[in-house]
Amino acid sequence: MKLTSAQVALLGETISLTPRAGWFPVYNPADAGVLAYVQEHTADDTRTAIAAADKAFPAWSGKTAKDRSIILKKWNDLVLKHKEEMALLVTLEQGRPIKETHGEVTYGASFIEWFAEEAKRAYGRTIPATLPGKHLQTIKQAIGVCAAITPWNFPISMITRKVSPALAAGCTVVIKPSEETPLSALVLLQLAKQAGLPEGVINVVNSTKAAEIGGVLTSDPRVKKLSFTGSTPVGKLLYAQCAPTMKKLSMELGGNAPFLVFDDAEIDAAVEGALASKYRNSGQTCVCANRLIVQSGIYDSFAARLTERVRELKLEEGWKEDATLGPLINRKAIDKVQHLVDDAVKKGAHVELGGKAHDLFYEGTVLTNVSREMELFDTEIFGPVAPLFRFETEEEGIAMANDTPFGLAAYAYTRDIGRAMRVAAKLQYGMVGMNDGLISTEVTPFGGVKESGLGREGAVEGLEEYLSIKYISYGGLGAI
C-alpha cells in the first residue's frame, strides 16, 4: 500500500515520491514497497542543525513558560486533528496494525499536552538561610541544545516523549529518528512548524549512516544533552562518546521483562495481561514481556489458555481492520526471532503454537518446556514469541526474574496482597506492573535500572531531565 494523498500533502517537500540523488528510500515492511524518499543528511548538515538550534536557544528559552506552552498546545491539537493520517502512516512505515496505531498517535500527543502543562511548573526553592543577611535560592534553567536519537518501534511517541519536555523547559532540539521510520518524524516537524515553533527550535536530521550523525551529536560541545532510546550496545557506545564533553544523558535501553504468574493469580486476568504485554506491536517494544515465568501449579492451565487466545490473533497487513499482528520491522528482525526459536527447540522447547515466519510476518508463538540455557532467556526477543519458564517457590521466581543485567519493566500476577507488595519491592526494575500488563502513561516516570539505562521520561521527572539547577546565595542583605 502507498501513501495517501492526505499524507503526501502533510509531508510536503520533505519527501519525494521518485528517486533522487542523495535521498534514501523508506519501505513499507508489510509489502517491501517504497513509500517515499527522504533526504540523506550528512555530518555537515548535522552541524548546521546544531548551529540553528544553538542560535534559536536564547529567544526560545527567554520566552515565558506560558508562551511556550501555548505553542505546544497548538502542536498537540494539530497532531490530534491529523490522527487518522498519522495512524495510517505509522502502520505503513512501521507495520503495526491500525487498531494500535491510533493509540500511538494519542499516546504521542499526550506527552505534548502533559509537558505543555508542566512547562509552567518548573519551580525552584527558597532555602532557609544559614546566616543572617543571606537569601538562598535555587532556580531551574533550560540546559541548552538537546539531541534526541529515537527508534522505529514508537515513531511518534518516542520523539514527543523527549522533545516536548525539552521544548517546555526552554531547550531547542536536534532529532535523529530511526532510518526505518523518518516519515512520522517529518510529519511531526511539519505540524510543529504550523503550530508556530520558531525557526531552529526543532530540527530533524535523517540518515542511513547513524554512526556518522551520532558522532557529531555526541561530540559537538554545543549539544548539552543527549536523550537516546534504542539498543543497549548503541546506548553504551553513545554514553562513552558523550564523556569528553560531559553531556547530561537519558538512556532508555533494552529490557528483558519478566512476567511472573503465581499459582494464586487470577488466570484470565494474567492471560489477558500477557497477551497485551507480549503481543502488542508484534512483541517489538522494550517493555514487552520477554520471559513468562509461571509457577508450576498453574503452568499447564496458563499455557493452554494463553495458546487458545494467541490462536485468535490475526496475522495480516496492518491496514486491514481485523489485523492484530503485523509484520516485523525487517528481514533481520525475522531472522533473529527464528534463530531464537530454533535454538530453544534444539535445546528441548515444545512449540505449542506458531514457530514459523511467513515472509516478513512471524506467527504468534507459544513455547513451553523452556529453560535457562536457551538464548531467549538472556536476549530481548522483539517478536511475538512467548517462552514459558517454570518455577516452584516465590524466592525462586523472583531470583529468575532478576537474573539478568537488564532492569526496565517487570510484571507479576498474584491475588495475595502481601506477596504483591513483597514481589514489587524485590523486583530489580524501574517499573512494575502488578496485576497490570499495560503500564505506560505520560503521567508516570518511564525508565530503567541496571543496564536498561538512566533517567526518566514522562511525568514531573521527565521535565527535570532538561533543566539544570542553579543555586544562588544572595549575601549582604542586612536584616531581612
Interacting residue with ligand ADP among 29, 95, 144, 151 (CB under 6 A): 151
Cell of 377: 532467556
Calculate Rg over the CA atoms of the chain: 23
Q: Which residue out of 286, 317, 363, 380 is catalytically annotated? A: 286
Cβ at position 283, least distance to ligand ADP in Å:
13
Which of these ranges, 3-11, 25-33, 37-45, 176-184, lies near ligand ADP under the rule CB under 6 A? Answer: 176-184
179 lies in the binding site for ligand ADP (CB under 6 A): yes
178 lies in the binding site for ligand ADP (CB under 6 A): yes
Interacting residue with ligand ADP among 34, 51, 210, 424 (CB under 6 A): 210
214 lies in the binding site for ligand ADP (CB under 6 A): yes
237 lies in the binding site for ligand ADP (CB under 6 A): yes
Cβ at position 251, least distance to ligand ADP in Å:
11
Residue 148 neighbours by CB under 8 Å, 6+ apart: 159, 162, 163, 166, 173, 174, 175, 176, 226, 227, 228
45 lies in the binding site for ligand ADP (CB under 6 A): no
231 lies in the binding site for ligand ADP (CB under 6 A): yes
Give the dihedral sign, CA 8/14/18/23.
Answer: negative
Cβ at position 66, least distance to ligand ADP in Å:
33
90 lies in the binding site for ligand ADP (CB under 6 A): no
CB atoms within 10 A of CB 73: 16
- Is 146 assigned a catalytic role? no
Give the integer Cα–Cα distance in Å for 242 and 237: 9
Which region, left, alpha or beta, applies to residue 170 given φ > 0 means left and ψ of -120 to 50 means alpha?
A: left
**Going residue by residue from 283 to 322, which x/- string records binding to ligand ADP, judged by CB under 6 A?**
----------------------------------------
Vertex 311, ends 310 and 314: CA angle to 5°?
90
* Structure letter (DSSP) for residue 263: T
SS3 38: strand
* Structure letter (DSSP) for residue 325: B
Nearer to ligand ADP by Cβ, of 245 and 468: the residue is 245
Q: Write down the residue that cell numbers 496458563 correspond to.
A: 302
9 lies in the binding site for ligand ADP (CB under 6 A): no
Number of residues that bind ligand ADP (CB under 6 A): 14
Phi first, then psi, for residue 432 (nearest 5°) are: -130, 130
Give the integer Cα–Cα distance in Å for 180 and 155: 9
Give the integer Cα–Cα distance in Å for 341 and 344: 5
SS3 317: coil
Cβ at position 241, least distance to ligand ADP in Å:
8
Which of these ranges, 210-218, 292-300, 419-427, 472-480, lies near ligand ADP under the rule CB under 6 A? Answer: 210-218
Interacting residue with ligand ADP among 97, 144, 165, 230 (CB under 6 A): 230
Nearer to ligand ADP by Cβ, of 114 and 382: the residue is 382
186 lies in the binding site for ligand ADP (CB under 6 A): no
Residue nearest ligand ADP, CB atom distance: 214
DSSP state letters, 186-248: HHHHHHHHHTTPPTTSEEE---S-HHHHHHHHHH-TTEEEEEEES-HHHHHHHHHHHGGGT-E
157 lies in the binding site for ligand ADP (CB under 6 A): no
211 lies in the binding site for ligand ADP (CB under 6 A): yes
182 lies in the binding site for ligand ADP (CB under 6 A): no
Give the integer Cα–Cα distance in Å for 437 and 77: 29
Residues annotated as part of the active site = 252, 286
- Enumerate binding residues for ligand ADP (CB under 6 A): 149-151, 176, 178-179, 210-211, 214, 230-231, 234, 237-238
